Structure 1
């Protein structure tokens, strides 16, 4: 038997909706959350798709997530707003925030929306692409409820993996897409390494003595991850600064909670996000930005490669290629994860449908 089951995107979303509804998530929020997780898997961001369901089950059991959350606009001023996520799952308030940011940008040229009282929101790139699909430049970032990045020269974590994503629409090409954690790797990659039995490369994580950690299970337990770049000599201080920048925009600006200073008895994690949309026509005549971006992307791909067998790619090329392939062929899910989701669905009283992919 193959180590993976190939699941059509429609069936994957159906399973996610069933579990979320069984948890008490309202139908509209369940659909948005399931769509966001499915898109992450379609893009090949496997660490932020259905693999998050065990984590979300744990968050729900801990009482840190309110499944029937009410999402509201807490503040509005000019081209800015703040959304309160009601302590629910993070995807629905984040989608609403980016939609609102685009609406504001359509009216004002730019729109910035913060989110507070939220939770883990999945893959940042999905929200950036949400703006690009409407013809706008989208910037999305989020703080993380648990600290895991060790500051340069430090030996204890002070920030989460704090991802950043930017997408921009082109005319002939798929959108430019940058989606990156500000740690050297995302925590989800540690989970994937543990599931597949792979050792961690040097520079991904540290042990308690500050030395390279190669055991993914121990790395997940300790959560002592290097900032993007790793060591100071390799530019890790830049990743540290980027992670801190995300914290400023997502936490302090929106009134969310900074993980190391959060009271131990806090009822909710109060995670913050930041969504920004820019209307290209506020800066250029219609079509000029997209045309120049096309030329830029083509120029990057035309770079003479160091290895003839590995052409130079433009940011977003790998994700768009995986999206096209998985849309046709389905999404591979490890059987170990299938078993976890089956158990979670059974416990929640939700119908389990993923096995239908193999029938």
Structure 2
């Protein structure tokens, strides 16, 4: 039975709407296709904060001059198993997928490959990139810096690091990779925006007030962006590690030194691919053992019988199957934002009829 949670949009129409807006921004068709694929994949997996909901942010960044929809992306260095890409201030999906393709190609040859990206922008959900690698039989790791500081170092009162995501994926013989995708803050900024749209308080421990006490109001949390690192010192350390891989290694802007964002955000990303066959002799041996491990984890006796133990990726795959079948929920506020963006860009707004459906 179709869930009665609100308006739903078929995945194909959802993607068409994104393409209409991206092309209206003068993004090339090839770049628009890649960008829509990455954003749409996040929406299908239930990562709503990193899908089409990003278009209002991207629209604002284009207007502010922090990003361009028409970049000339180039490979700066190409040295066997290592490469560096310059994103020319475009959004990160296209150079991110270029990095995936380069890393996969070189890992097939050398067993391991790493690609860094500089002069980029927000690249969406990090898990989308490593999932693509795992679906090719490779282990994938991806990290990204962020265009503005949001995480407060443990014990501090001002943000110095971005929410700096880490994603890891490993191939499975059953076709659904082990997939971990996490922010290094307790909650990503997108989660605050979702709470703001829903007009609900955020949990204690997500953000701080300017005085350092817990913040529950998502509007004030978004205004101040004083996010708590995941697990205190551990999340702070992981966020700094991501900054090293994404920014220091690539030569992108260092978030702790940014101050107010300049015209170009110069975000950095990092992608690593590893062929497990180089360690195990065959990918099949690795994949079989991974499945044995994850099966053992799922068989852990649950504290609540109604909520069985899962492993990383299980919730996302379940959501993806549901949304491919029933459609993607369209919040009213997002629909209105998209309508306004489409009108400004002279793009067709295709979701108007979906507002009446449930």
Aligned pair count?
A: 352
The reply to whether residue 329 of structure 1 matches residue 326 of structure 2 is: yes
Q: Distance in 2 between matches of 1:58 and 1:215?
A: 23
Q: Distance in 2 between matches of 1:3 and 1:185?
A: 24
Instruction: Give the equivalent residue in structure 2 for 1:112.
Output: 114
Instruction: Give the equivalent residue in structure 1 for 2:302.
Output: 305
The reply to whether residue 252 of structure 1 matches residue 224 of structure 2 is: no
Measured against aligned partners, the alpha-carbon deviations of 1:79-130 in whole angstroms (never above 9, x if no partner) come to: 0100010110111110111111111101100110000000000000101101
In the TM superposition, 1:55-134 aligns within 5 A as 55-134=57-136
State the 1:174 CA deviation: 1.6
Q: Distance in 1 between matches of 2:26 and 2:255?
A: 27
Query: SS at the partner of 2:115?
Result: strand
Q: Distance in 2 between matches of 1:146 and 1:284?
A: 41
Instruction: Give the equivalent residue in structure 1 for 2:215.
Output: 213
State the 1:263 CA deviation: 6.8
Q: Which runs of 5+ in 1 are unaligned?
A: 230-235
In the TM superposition, 1:319-358 aligns within 5 A as 319-357=316-354, 358=356
2:290 maps to which of 271, 290, 293: 293
Q: Distance in 1 between matches of 2:261 and 2:300?
A: 54
In the TM superposition, 1:246-285 aligns within 5 A as 246-262=242-258, 266-285=262-281
Q: Which runs of 5+ in 2 are unaligned?
A: none
TM, length-normalised to structure 2? 0.96
8 Å CA contact retained: 1:131, 1:277: yes
Q: Distance in 2 between matches of 1:120 and 1:167?
A: 20
Q: Distance in 1 between matches of 2:37 and 2:324?
A: 13
Query: SS at the partner of 1:354?
Result: coil
Change in Cα spacing, 1:150 to 1:193, as seen in structure 2 (3 Å) is same
Instruction: Give the equivalent residue in structure 2 for 1:142.
Output: 144
Instruction: Give the equivalent residue in structure 2 for 1:45.
Output: 47
Q: Distance in 2 between matches of 1:55 and 1:268?
A: 15
Instruction: Give the equivalent residue in structure 2 for 1:237.
Output: 233
Q: Distance in 1 between matches of 2:281 and 2:255?
A: 43
Query: SS at the partner of 2:280?
Result: coil
State the 1:173 CA deviation: 5.5
Instruction: Give the equivalent residue in structure 1 for 2:17.
Output: 15
Q: Distance in 2 between matches of 1:281 and 1:47?
A: 35
8 Å CA contact retained: 1:97, 1:275: yes
Q: Distance in 2 between matches of 1:109 and 1:4?
A: 47
Change in Cα spacing, 1:75 to 1:263, as seen in structure 2 (3 Å) is farther
State the 1:267 CA deviation: 3.1
Q: Distance in 2 between matches of 1:217 and 1:264?
A: 20
Q: Distance in 1 between matches of 2:292 and 2:201?
A: 40
Q: Distance in 1 between matches of 2:53 and 2:239?
A: 24
Measured against aligned partners, the alpha-carbon deviations of 1:12-46 in whole angstroms (never above 9, x if no partner) come to: 11110110111111111111001110000000001
8 Å CA contact retained: 1:161, 1:183: yes
Change in Cα spacing, 1:279 to 1:4, as seen in structure 2 (3 Å) is same
Change in Cα spacing, 1:301 to 1:263, as seen in structure 2 (3 Å) is closer
Instruction: Give the equivalent residue in structure 2 for 1:233.
Output: none
Instruction: Give the equivalent residue in structure 2 for 1:155.
Output: 157
TM, length-normalised to structure 1? 0.96
Measured against aligned partners, the alpha-carbon deviations of 1:228-265 in whole angstroms (never above 9, x if no partner) come to: 02xxxxxx100000000000000000000012323758
The reply to whether residue 185 of structure 1 matches residue 187 of structure 2 is: yes
